[in-house]
Structures are given as structure tokens and as C-alpha cells.
Structure 1
């Protein structure tokens, strides 16, 4: 039998005998593999490609044609998703099925396929009007219960909560009987009613291609090509056909660039290093318990290479088993999670596994297992066979760490600090993380020296803590691994917290608007004066008692070309373009939130009122007048600086007279008011019924909250730190069994024994958390610059989430020591040997 095969057999039997330790190691190795694999699988499964969603979109048909709202000009791009509007305010006559069939290749067959809303007494519900019995609709909805509906009948989706036999009573229409339950192939949370003759009502919201509208499914004798799409668009039809969903040949992934490769390598190093440090103490536990068996193998002729091979085989067996189980569990969890998440909202496709990244993660897990067993393997090869067989405790402190190790660690830390000072000025955070790895490796190499240095304070501690710290210093190899693991987790989480909080504060400072919070704006596009008058009258009816201020659209003297008067400023380091608001005193009062006599007098005298002081030089404001259909111009106007209603506000107001003196004409096409539409308001839909070229916007202010995912990082840190600390504490308790037996013999209470074990946990996690806090603060400050700067000269924003950092640094040590304090301690009085 070969030595490698024998080592694997020994590792397998040892793992089975020590099932608790083996399970702990497998969890530490497999948990990252499971989580990452599950996320990859979930995202891939929930990403429904165009080809996967083709059946739900077209059924067995060759194309879907949707009639666009009146007055909309459609220009689809080669992917079928681009569109634009403009032109007439009223559309031509709506086409019927016969007219549409004449626009398609000869021999085309059409079946109605319209989407909209069905108005019920309880409110509107999404509806699909088509005959599911028609072969062209095969696969659009699958039958789960009952049968497909005929005239006067409907089918519902499971999310509607209805069953066959129930009756729906649409507003102003005949009752409809539910005869079946149907499911959308990719949207299990969809709440929809399907029937062949539904009284559809179009939603009062802005239309986008394929969203809603009456239409048809078409079976054609040949594919509908792009040469035919412009004619169908001109006829007011949006086209969806199978050639539009043909996936482009070639790889789905873009070529990796240098930063991507460096970022991937950094992630690999961090994961392997952290897993090795976490699982290392657990492997060391196994080495302590197997010391005598390994010594017997050495006494029978086993070489140091054989001993290393046996311990490394532990890492291979446990790492391989953990990787296989975690990968399988991750794939299953991802597929199951996708179906569960889709029931809350979203879509789900067929089970799909991105094998390349999943296999890469599995290889990473296997490598982590080998790396975790590497240090115990070296220790096994160096153990004194005679001392072990004689029953003497190994002289751990006798082989002190080499002086070159702390020195090399110090050099790496200093080099990493210098490199991170340069990396923080580079674009992107990848370089910061790459140099942070150098600092982390240096701190890992310095950790044994830190353990020995902090052990000098043991003499001033109470007895239980003094015993804990001195034992930790004696077993520096075991303690340093656990401390370094805690340090790595803490540093990473603190750095992420500082970076995320800094980015949040920077975005909050960078937020700017031309209107104060709570201001309603109604903008009319290109439309006739008669249409605007109707739109204005409708706005007045829908907003009774609300004072409306007029805004004006800038055009050339002929009134044919629209112009925008703009200037550019830097706001929080970002180049921001401001567009003029043209109006009078009522608009200025809304933008300032008060009456400002100085600003009002300036506006009345024909000057611009500007809310960005940096834009005004020597009392003049330089503007660029741009148009998509006319020549651009540059002009300077007199201006004064005023204070807006809120600090995030910018922009400027121009009086009509000043604009007209500059050679332009103005026409009212905007309305403003300090008014917040209530939830569920149909104002936008009611105005869109007058003209689809109206835009309704309500200024809500800065609404983003700090990233809630930070507390997920905290939960992960708690699991890793507490788990790694308890593993190291278990090893310490095993090594201290003789000391605890002596303490029991001389009458030490059980509470004291528990305090010794809890002291080990507190020392390991506390020292690691403090060192990690320092390293994480440096990394977080470095991360803040590339995450919050927007060009040369823009200062970085640095913010510390103090509550989060306090929880990260204090929480894990307290939990670890509390868990160790509650651990049952067993000790027996050792028997003395008399010579």
C-alpha cells in the first residue's frame, strides 16, 4: 500500500472517530463555499434570459404586436427595447386585425392578446385578454387546476386567492365565473385574471413598450424581420418576434481586465487565509489528541514526510468532504431559494448553475482545507518522539518562534502602509484591498510576538485570568492562529463599515436638486397651445385650492425649436448641470420658501437669481443655450446670488423679459406648486389622458438610508469570531487539563475553572478585535477616498459608523467569553506516579 493511500485511510478513520471535531472543521471550510455557491446559483436561476422567457411572451406564435397609445411615435432598436416619443398629440385611427394582417407576410393568422386592468369593486387587477385554448397561446400560462376559460369565464393565478366556482363582478360589466387556476412560467407571485373577452381598462400610468395595450399574437409563414419593423412601428404597433431574442454568439462574459484579476486574486487569498486561520486550531486539536499515535508511527520507521502527509490528508479528506457537501447544498439552496424569493416578487427561470465560478469556489474550499492543516502538519513532523512516548508534555515554549518572523511581519506591515497610501489615490477600491492583504499577512506574522508581548501583563491580573493568559503565551502557535483569525475578520468588517458609511455620507452631501422638498412639477413637452390649455385646466381641477406657479419653455423666435439655458458647476466634487427655470415672482417665492425682497427686486429688474454662488462672476452669469434641432449659443446675463429654500438646492431663475431680450421666445409649459400628492394619486394618469407628453415629478429629497447589509456583515463576523474562538478555547481546555486537575485537587471551585476557560476566550477574541480595529481603521480610511472622490482636488469623505464599529469590536469578545463561561468543564484528579 502506498504511503499516500495509507495516509488517506488513517485520515478517514480519524475523522469518523472524532466526529464532533470533524464536523466543526467541515462547517468552517464548507460554510463560505455553501453561501457563495448558493448566491451564484440563485442569481443565475432568477435571471430569465430572453430565450427562456420566450414561451411566456409569445406562446407558440412567431410574433406579438401591441398597439401603442394614441400620439406615440415608436422607433425600436435592433434589440426591440428602445423607443422614443414625439410628434402628434392625437393618433390616427386604430388598426383592426384585418389591417394588421395586411402588414404581415401573406398567410398570417392573428389571435387577440391584450393586457391591461380589470376593474373590480375591490380595486384594479392585472388582466390578460386572450383565448388560452388557442394553439398559438400554448405555454403562455400553464393549467394548474380546473380548465381553460371560454366566453364569459376566466382563469386566475394562484396569487389571486380565488378558486374555480368563484364569481368576479367587474365594474360596469357582466359577472365572470372562475373556471381554472393558471400559472405564469416565471412569475409565481403574479396576480392576474385571464379570459378571452375581458372588459380591459388601460392603466393610468405612462406607457412603455410591451407593458400593456391591446394587441395580437401572430403566426406567420416566415419570421418577422427587422426590415418590416419600421413599417409596423409607423402603424402604431410595437413588435416582439423570435429573431429579436436570438442570443448573440460568443462568450457571455467580458474579458477580464487587470483590476478584475487582482480583485479576484485578493478575494482568493483572503478567503484561504481566513479559513486556514479559523480551522487551524481545530486541526491542532486533532494533532494534540493524536500526538502519541503519530509518535508510534515515527518509532516504527515513519519519516517526518510521512507524518506531514498524514496530517495533510486530514485537510484533504475533511476539506474535500466539506466542499462536496457544501457545493451540493449550495446548488440546492440556490435553486430552492430562487423559487421562494420569486413567490415574494420577481421571476425565476429553469434551474441554472454557473459551473465555472461554482467549481472555482469548490477548488477554493479544498485549498482552504489543505492550508488549514499545513501548520499542524509541520508541527507533527517536528515533535519529539521520545518525549511524547514517555508521556511528557511537549515543550512548546522551548522552540520559540524565529526572530526573523516578527521582523518580516513588521517589514510587510510598513510596506503595506506605504503601498496603501499610494493605492488610495488610484481609481477603484481594488488596489486598496490588494495592499490590505500585505498588511494582513504582516500582522499574522507579528501575532506570535504580540501574544508574547501582551502576556507580560498577566502578573497584574486575577488568578483565573493570569492562568489563562500565561497558558495562551505558552501555546503561542495555537493562540496566534486564533487571534489572527479574529483580527482578520474584525479588520475586514470595520473597513467595510467605514467605507460604506463614508460613501453614504458622501452621497447625502452630493445630493442636489433644483427644487425644494415637497415641490410638485408638471412639465409639458412639445404640444399645441390648445392641448396645454386643456392640460392646465385639468391640473387646476385635480388640484383644487393649490396655488400653481407658471414656468416657461424657451424657444427660438419662430417657436419651432426648443432651447435649454444651462451652466455647469461642481457640487461636492461632481460636475452638475443646471437648467434655467423661467418664471416670475410666484416661482421665485416657491424656490426660496419665503419672500426675499432683494431677490424679488433683482428679478423684477431683469436679472437672473442664482442659487450657486460659484456660477456668478463679477455679477454676470455665463449660459449656454443648447437645442437638439437648432444652433447652440453662448450668452452672459446680469445675475445676483440668493439663498434657496434648502441647502441641497441649486439652479437659477430667469425672468421672461431677460430671455426675450436675448433673442428667444417663451411659452408657458410648466406648473409648480408646494404640494405632495397622496399615496395612490392618479394625477399623472389623469394628465396623461390629455396628452402623453406630460411629466409629473414630486421632489422627495434625499431618501437613501445607510446600507442595511452592514448588519449582515456583523452577523457573519459574530459567527466566524465566536466559532473560531471557541475552537481555540476547546484546545486550550484540553491542554490545561492537568492544571485544572491540580486546581480541583486543592479545592478550586468549578466557577474558577470556568473563569479560566472564559479568560482564554476573552483574551483571544479581545486581542484580535483590538488589533483588527487598528488595521480596519487604516483600511477603511484608505477605502473612503476612492469611494467618495470624484476627480482631482475633491476631498475624501470619511465617516465612522460608531455604533456598528463598537458592536463589531466589543460584541464578539463578550459573546465568546459568555459562551465559554457557560461551557461545562470536566476535570478529574490525576493519579500521581511514585518511582
Structure 2
């Protein structure tokens, strides 16, 4: 029998004999593989490519055509679509007839109409598709789950609406519609949609793009609609989605190019971190196996086994368990991602056919196998160096430190700190993470020295803690792996917490608006005076009793519309402000009070500015720009005033000041301190007058800190507590003689539990403190590339103290409490003196 087969057989027998330890090792190695593989598969399955979505978009038709509004200049190309809505009032273009569209597509064309939009149901609205699902051209767009497809005066609904066949749907302002079927979208299970051949669709709030919504046709053509046919259809005002054109597009390029140095270095740093963490977590469990097999290995050595044979036996454990864990985790990860995609899509998103990105999945599997072998490497080296006579005599081998290791660790830490200082000034955070890898590896090398150094004051501790710390110091090779694992987890989580919270606080400081919280703004675009009068009247009717302040639009003598802006630095970022034109009523709204000084300045023809940095020598420099006329520069007198909110900026110009600069002004804006109730239909009501209206409500800064931080805390909880308990179980096994002696001299069970809990407290506490130091350095360094926006912009550094305390204090406490329930009763053992 070959040596390889022999060591694999020994590894299999040992794994089956110690099933609990083998399961722990497989979980430590396989869990990262399962999670990463599942995420890759989930992401790939939920990514519906244009080819996969053809049936849902076109059915069996060859093309779909959407009519665009009047004045839209449309240009479709294989690399994207551009459009310009022109300067009209937004009236719909005369719809092309089916015969005209068929003539554009050529003889033999068959068309069926369709339209997309929304359907109002009281204060709610749902997506709506107006087409005949009974026509063969629509086959595949929606799948019938219950009932039948609707005819005239009937509808089908998706399951998310919760309606069944036979129930009535009651659109606002229209006769009720009977539900006759339940249909499902092939890729969007969470879609709330109503489908029927004749629906009372609500007018759109605004024109957002020709591919969003609008009336059109599904077409079956005699010849394919290729990209060469698209320009002529665009000139006729038709947005085209063609089966032939989409299939002709090349596949999307790989997002992670191997030639991208930044991505390569970031991926390499991530791989090192994953392997390092897996090795540190699984290492104590392999050490448990080495302790239990020490006598067996000594007997093999006494019978002629070489040091290489002993190394192979222990490495075979890593190969067998790592391979099994990787195989099981890969299969479970693929299954989890494929089966979880439809579940996740029901909360939002889309799902396509199950798809596995084999290149990254196999790379992760290889990474797991390498991690398993690497985790067994240190125990393998220890097994090759053990003295058979000492082991067979029942004595524990003496632990000796490598003299050069503390120096090597210090050099790596200093090199990492230097690299961090340099990386902190780079625009990408990947360089900081790469530098942090050096610091962490250096701290792993320094960990045995830290354990010996922190064990010196153990004599001043109580009996239980003194025994725990001295045992941990005596078995530094075992303790160091667990401490380093806790350190790496804590450092990573603390660094992520500081970086993410700093970014959140920077966004909060950077938030700015030209309006105070609670202000409602209604802006009209380019439109005639008659259209604006209708829009204003409708606004007054829809907001009875709400005081409205007027804003004005500037135009030149030729009727070209101009926007007045200035640029100022806000939180280190160059911010371009649009200037409002108005009177005392608007000034009072912007300031939230009556300011006599600002009101007098506005009345005298001066600009009132809320950005002090924008005013120099009592002047404000403005740029008047137009899309159809040359830009101009204006320098106007200005005074600085205090706005209603601290985040507020902007400026207000009186009409007289603008008109002295050879502009005319016309009312095109309305402002009010009014909060719209939930479900308000005001935007849709005003869009019925003209879609060239924008309704905006200022809600202030309401972005919450990243909830993913607490997800990181849960992950850290599993890793820290799991790694600590694995190390304390190993310590409990190694301390059997001492614990037996303590039991023999009358030590109560509580003392024994305190000894084991002391081990957990020492391991998790030391690892958490060192991880706090490393994570703080990395987190502070991360804050600069994550929060700066240019040269001279100071970094925002913010520490989420509750989160950090939960990680650094809470996790060791939980690990200690969990260790208290460890079984401590042992039979009396014979001590060898």
C-alpha cells in the first residue's frame, strides 16, 4: 500500500472516531465557502440578462414599439439610448395608426396594441399592462396561474395583489372590473400589476424615458428588425425593442478584468484575509486532534516512521476534512443560491433561470481546500518535531518560542503601519485593506510573545484565573491561534464599523439643500402662460387654505430660459447652487421667520445669500446659463443671512435685480410650508395639466447608519464565540491532570468552571483588545478615502461607540458565559511525577 493511501485511510478513521471535532473543522472551513458560493449563485441567478428576459418583454413578437411624446429627439444605438424632450408643452404627439406603423415595418407585418402605465385604486396605484393576453403574440409575457385570460371589461392580476378570480377591482373614477385570472411574471414574483385589454390608465407623473411606459404595439414582422432599421423608426417617434437586435448584441464584458491592478490587489487581500481567518479558526481544532493522537504518532515514530510521515498523516487530516467540507459547502452553496433566489425575489427584484458562475465558484472551492491544508500545517510541523520518548512517558512537551519571530512580527507591523500611512492618502480604500493585511500577519506572528508578556502578572490573580492564564501561557502554540483568530475578526469588524460610520457622518455633514425641511416646491418647466395659469389654478384647488409663495423664471429678450447658479464649497465638495427669484413671502419661508435686515436688503435690490463663503466684498458672482443661448456672468450686490436650517444654502434674488440685468421674469414656481399626506395624488393631478411639472418635498436628512454593521456583529459573534469555545475545549482537555488534582484536594465544581471560563475570558479578551488597536488604526485610515472628495478636504472620523463596545466588551463576555456551561467533572486520574 502506498504511503498516500495509508495516511488517507488513517485520516478517515481518525475523522470518524472524532466525529464532533471533525464536524467542527468542516463547519469552520466550509462556512465561508458556503456563504460566498451561495452569494455568487444568488447574484448570478437574480441577474436577468436581456436574452433571458426576451419572452417576458416581447412574448413571441419580433419587436415592441413605444410611441414617444411630441418633440422627443430619440436615438438608439447598440451601446445605449439618448433622447431629448424638446421645448414643447408636452402634449402627446398624434398617435400613428396601425397601418402607418405596419408600413414602416414592411409588408406582412401583424400588430397588436399595448400600453403600460399605472392604475389608481383609491390612494394606491399599481402597475398596469393594457394588452390582450389571449393573442398568441403575448405568449410567455405572463404565465396563467389560476382562472383564464381577460376579455373586454375584465382583468387579470398578479399574486402580489392578493385578489382571486370572481372579485371586483375598483379603479378610481372608472367602472369596476372583474378579476378573471391570476397571472405571474416569469422573472418578477413581487410585481403588483393589473392586465387587461381595456384599462383606465392614469396619466404618467412625468416623461422619464421612452423605454419606461407609453402606448405602442407588439409586432410580428416578415423580416427581422435589425439595428439598421432602428434610426428610421426613431425618427417616426418610436422606441424599438427588437428580438434580432438584442440577440446581436455582444455579451457583457467581465467586470473584474485581470489586467485591473486595483481589483487584483483587492482580490488578493481578500483571499489572504479569508484564508488567514479560516486557518486561525480551524487551527485549534486540528491542534485538538494532534493532542489526542500524540501517543499514536509517537508509536508510529518509534516503529520507524519518519518526520515526513508524521507530517503527511496530519496534513492528510486537513486534505480529507478540507476537501469534504469544500465539496459539501459548494453543493449546499449552489443549492442555497439557486433555491433562495425566488424567495429573495418575492421581497423585491427579479429572478432568472438557475445559473452558476463556475469560475468564481471553483476558485472559492480551491480556496477552501487550501485553507484546510494550511490549517493543519502548524500541527503537522509540531507532530514532526515531538519527542516520542517524552510523549510515550506521558509528559507534555515543553513549549519554546522562536527567537526571531517577535522581531519578524514587529517588522511586519511597522511595515504595515508605514504602508497604511501612504495608503490613507490614496483615493481607493483597497490600498488600506492591503496594508491592514501586513499589520494582521505581523500581529499573528507577535501573538505568542504577547501571551507570554501578558501572563507575567498572573500571580496577582485569584486561583481560578491564575491557573487559567498560566496554562494558556504554558501552551502558547494552542492559545496563540485562538487569540489571533479573535484578533483578526475583531480588527476587521471594528475597522468596517469605523469606516462605515465615518462615511455615514460625512454624508450627514455633506447633506445640503436650498429649502428648509417641510417645504413643498412646485416647479413648472418651459410652458406657455396659459398652461402655467391652469397649473397654478389646479394647485390652489388641490391645496385649499395653504399659503403659496411665488418663484420666478428668468428669460432673455428672445425667450431663452436661463438658470442662475453659483459654486461654493460645502463640506469640502464643490457644490453648484441654483438661485431662487422671489419676494418677501419666499424669503420668510426660506428663513423660517421674519428677518428685518434681510427683508430690507431684498427690498433695496440686493441678493440674500445663505452661503457666507459665496459672498466676497459684498458681491455674489453668478453664472446665467441656457441650453439654447450663450452663458453670461453676473456680479450682484449681496448680503449674508441665516437660513432656517443649518444644512441649508442657496440665495434669493429680487425680481428688480434680475430685470436690471436685461432679463424678464415670469412666475413658474410655487412654494409652501406644507407636508403632503401619505398617498397624496397631487403629483399625478398636476401632471394631468402638463407633464412638465415637478413636485418636490424637502424631507431633510433621513439616511440611517448602515444596518449591515449589526450583521457584521452577528458574524463576529459566531466566529469569536466559536473559536474561543474550540480553544477552551482544547484547554479543558489539556488540563485534565491539573483539574483532576484540584478535584482530589476538594476544589468545588464552581472553581473548575471558573478555570475554564477564565481561559475563555483570557483568549477572547486579549484578542479583542489587540483587535481593537489594529481595527482602530485601519478604520481611521479607511475614513479618509471613504469621506474625502478632493485635495484639501479634511477626513471625517467618527467612532460608533455602542457598536465598538458591543464587539470589544460584549463578545468576550458572551464567550466567557458560554464557557461556564462547559462540562468540568472528570474521573480521578493518576499523575505521573
TM-score for the superposition, normalised by structure 1: 0.96
Residue 695 of structure 2: aligned partner: 696
Cross-structure match for 2:721: 722
Q: Deviations over 1:118-171 (max 9, x none)?
A: 555795543323222322111111222333334444433222333344454556
1:551/1:672 contact within 8 Å kept? yes
The CA distance in 1 between the partners of 2:456 and 2:515, in whole Å, is 63
Alignment check: 8 A CA contact 2:203 2:687 kept: no
Query: Cα distance, 1:226 vs. partner?
Result: 4.2
Q: Secondary structure at the match of 2:432?
A: helix
Match of 2:30 in 1: 30
Question: Aligned in 2, Cα 1:179/1:541: closer, same or farther, shift over 3 Å?
Answer: closer
Is the partner of 2:240 in helix, strand or coil? strand
Partner of 2:652: 653
Change (3 A) 1:476 1:5: same
Task: Note if contact 2:47-2:352 (Cα within 8 Å) is conserved in structure 1.
Answer: yes
> Would you say the 8 A contact 1:29–1:279 is kept in 2?
yes
Partners of 2:323 and 2:796 in 1: CA distance: 45
Distance 1:152 1:91 in 2: 26
Q: Distance in 1 between matches of 2:173 and 2:583?
A: 47
Cα displacement string for residues 548-577 of structure 1 (whole angstroms, at most 9, x for unaligned residues): 111111222222x22222221111110111
How far residue 692 of structure 1 moved from its aligned partner, in angstroms, is: 1.2
Give yes or no for contact 1:610–1:640 (8 Å, CA) kept in 2: yes
Match for residue 345 of structure 1?
348
Whether the 8 Å CA contact 1:75–1:84 is kept in 2: the answer is no
Q: What's the CA shift string for 1:428-473, capped at 9, x where partnerless? A: 1111111111111111111111111111111111111111111101
User: 1:736-815, aligned counterparts within 5 Å?
Assistant: 736-815=735-814
Would the alpha carbon gap of residues 84 and 243 (structure 1) be closer, same or farther in structure 2, given more than 3 Å must change?
farther
Q: Does the 8 Å CA contact 2:38/2:333 hold for their aligned counterparts?
A: yes
Give the equivalent residue in structure 2 for 1:535: 535
Residues 9 and 798 of structure 1: CA distance in aligned 2, closer, same or farther (over 3 Å): same
What does residue 286 of structure 2 align with?
283
Q: Which structure 1 residue ranges, 5 or more long, are not aligned?
A: none
Query: Does residue 212 of the first structure (1) align with residue 205 of the second (2)?
Result: no
In structure 2, relative to structure 1, the CA distance for the partners of 1:710 and 1:288 (3 Å cut) is: same
Given the superposition, is the C-alpha separation of residues 502 and 102 from structure 1 closer, same or farther in structure 2, using an over 3 Å criterion?
same
Q: Determine if contact 2:146/2:183 at 8 Å carries over to the other structure.
A: yes
Q: 1:248 to 1:609 in 2, by over 3 A?
A: same
Q: Provide the residue aligned with 1:680 in structure 2.
A: 679
Aligned partners of 1:284 and 1:591: how far apart in 2? 69
Would the aligned equivalents of 1:156 and 1:192 in 2 still touch at CA under 8 Å? yes
Which residue pairs with 2:116 in the alignment? Answer: 115
Secondary structure at the counterpart of residue 697 of structure 1 = strand
- The equivalent of 1:265 in structure 2 is 268
Counterpart-to-counterpart distance in 1, 2:482 and 2:173:
72
Counterpart position of 1:64: 64
Matches within 5 A, 1:135-154: 135-154=136-155
Q: Secondary structure at the match of 1:552?
A: strand
Contact 1:513 1:648 in 2 (8 A): yes
> How far apart are 1:93 and its partner, in Å?
2.9
Contact 2:424-2:432 at 8 Å conserved across structures: yes
Q: State yes or no: 1:453 paired with 2:457.
A: no
Structure 1 residue 477: Cα displacement: 0.4
CA deviations on 1:188-207 (whole Å, 9 max, x unpaired) are 12233333344444455655
Alignment of 1:62-101 (within 5 A): 62-68=62-68, 74-76=74-76, 78=78, 81-89=81-89, 90-101=91-102
> Residue deviations 1:410-436, cap 9 Å, x none?
122122212211211111111111111
Q: 2:190 is matched with which residue?
A: 189
The structure-2 alpha-carbon separation of the partners of 1:800 and 1:68, relative to structure 1 and needing over 3 Å to count, comes to same
Q: Which moved more, 1:159-168 or 1:692-701?
A: 159-168
Pick aligned residue for 2:318 from 305, 315, 319: 315
Change (3 A) 1:190 1:635: closer
Unaligned segments of structure 2, at least 5 residues: none
- Cα RMSD (Å): 2.0
Measured in 2, the distance between the counterparts of 1:504 and 1:818 equals 34
Partner of 1:296: 299
Q: Distance in 1 between matches of 2:799 and 2:195?
A: 53
Would you say the 8 A contact 2:75–2:81 is kept in 1? no
DSSP 3-state at the match of 1:218 = strand
Instruction: Say if 1:832 and 1:822 are closer, same or farther in 2 by CA, change over 3 A.
Output: closer
User: d(CA) in 2 for partners of 1:737 and 1:465?
Assistant: 16
**What whole-Å deviation, never above 9, does each CA across 1:784-825 have from its counterpart, x for those lacking one?**
111111112111111110000000001111111111101222
Aligned to 1:829: 828
Residue deviations 1:512-537 (CA, integer Å, cap 9, x gap): 11111111111111111111111111
Q: Secondary structure at the match of 1:442?
A: helix
